[in-house]
Structure 1
Amino acid sequence: MSSTDSTEIHISGIASDSIVDGEGIRLTVFTQGCPRRCPGCHNPDTQPLVGGRMTTVGAVLAQLDANPLLTGLTLSGGEPFLQPAALLPLARGAHARGLDVWSYTGYTLEELRAQENPAVNALLDELDVLVDGDYRAEERDLTLHFRGSRNQRVIDLAATRATGTLTLLYADE
């Protein structure tokens, strides 16, 4: 067991085989706590900073290992970027297992980068895809891939890093 396996993560819950939180079959970790309070939030129970439960990176990695059908890990919320240092070893562990890593955030990529927080930047560097932006009920659109409102973006971070140009998945929507 590595020392990062005992790193604690404050979560609301885990979906063990999601098909709506990114491409393929995913383990989705719903973090607890979000200060944004978007009206119409899809996960309002995850907003309070109190509640939920604590788990460890090792326990979540064990769940990844238990399901050979998984193609990826998704970090959702709440707001995952409230605990980037705790989620970083989880993302690295998923990659070590050959899985891709997506994250949802109410912040834009530009807002996250502007924080100049080393833990935030490290987690961004580990992600394959970032779905960014606050949920806006007035821009709700059920035809969109993996997001709830038109202002949100599904950013291919791997391609963005490779090209130096912001690259969207589903840019034609």
Structure 2
Amino acid sequence: MTQPRLLNLAGLLPRSRANGPGTRMVIWVQGCPFRCLGCQNPDFLEFRVNQIVTVDQIWQQFQQLPDLAGISFSGGEPFAQSVALADLASRVKTVGKTVICWTGYKLEQIKLDKIPGSQEFLNQIDLLIDGLFIQQQASDRVMRGSENQKLHFLSGQITAVDLVDIPRQEWIVSPERLTYTGFPLENERFD
């Protein structure tokens, strides 16, 4: 019997329109080796236990929302949990949905295959947004926080045309909480 693959989550949003084309589930992982000045998610940086879930649990939740266009991974640093995310992304792809991932690594670094599970994970990603956030290069470009970050359309399942009407920001209100997601506009702060 194999052990279930575990994820350490910083957050999960069942439905979002600001994290890629269509309505998407968004997973933020806990832990990041980078310390970008001005990081939008500073609480997600520390490698500490936050919310441990199995890939099976997330997959079951994803399957209960058949209208989703796909899943988006952010963080923290998703490639720090490549093995488990590759498994989840593979399941998402098998039902014809798309996978988006933000990473502080450059695509060239990932291709060096020095991160366990990185190639398996990369093979499941339709759109990779790579590069560290650089506060001095803050940008209002679609799905990027700074000018240096690049969009890599890896599979053809998502193209630049699909990114035209994505809202820059989104506020989601539920009885339990108020959630903000997306990309702050230049000079806009919420602290």
TM-score category (smaller protein): 0.7 to 0.9
The CA deviation at 1:117 is 4.2
Separation in structure 2 between the aligned mates of residue 169 and residue 44 of structure 1, nearest angstrom:
29
The equivalent of 1:164 in structure 2 is none
Separation in structure 2 between the aligned mates of residue 95 and residue 3 of structure 1, nearest angstrom:
22
Separation in structure 1 between the aligned mates of residue 91 and residue 2 of structure 2, nearest angstrom:
12
The equivalent of 2:170 in structure 1 is none
Write the letter of the residue equivalent to 1:148.
Answer: G
The CA deviation at 1:79 is 0.3
Separation in structure 2 between the aligned mates of residue 98 and residue 3 of structure 1, nearest angstrom:
26
The CA deviation at 1:118 is 5.7
Separation in structure 2 between the aligned mates of residue 46 and residue 124 of structure 1, nearest angstrom:
22
| Inter-CA distance 33–117: structure 2 relative to 1 (3 Å threshold) | closer
The CA deviation at 1:82 is 0.7
The equivalent of 2:84 in structure 1 is 86
| Inter-CA distance 28–151: structure 2 relative to 1 (3 Å threshold) | same
The CA deviation at 1:115 is 3.9
**Unaligned runs of at least 5 residues, structure 2:** 162-191
1:78-112 deviation per Cα after TM superposition (whole angstroms, max 9, x unaligned): 00101111111100111112210011100110111
Q: Report SS of the residue matched to 2:123.
A: helix
* Greater per-residue strand proportion: 2
After TM superposition, where is structure 1 displaced by more than 4 Å over at least 4 residues in a row? none
**Unaligned runs of at least 5 residues, structure 1:** 160-167
Q: How many residues align?
A: 159
Map 1:108-123 → 2, pairs under 5 A? 108-117=106-115, 119-123=117-121
1:5-25 deviation per Cα after TM superposition (whole angstroms, max 9, x unaligned): x31111111011111111111
Separation in structure 2 between the aligned mates of residue 116 and residue 40 of structure 1, nearest angstrom:
27
The CA deviation at 1:3 is 5.4
The CA deviation at 1:53 is 1.0
Separation in structure 1 between the aligned mates of residue 59 and residue 152 of structure 2, nearest angstrom:
25
Overall identity of the aligned pairs, in %: 33
- Aligned-residue Cα RMSD (Å) equals 1.8
TM-score normalized with structure 1 length: 0.85
Asked if 1:27 is matched to 2:25, the reply is yes
Map 1:1-173 → 2, pairs under 5 A? 6-117=4-115, 119-142=117-140, 144-159=141-156, 169=160
Separation in structure 2 between the aligned mates of residue 68 and residue 114 of structure 1, nearest angstrom:
35
Write the letter of the residue equivalent to 1:56.
Answer: T
TM-score normalized with structure 2 length: 0.78
Task: Tell me, yes or no, if the aligned pair for 1:12 and 1:51 is still in contact at 8 Å.
Answer: no
Q: Report SS of the residue matched to 2:143.
A: coil
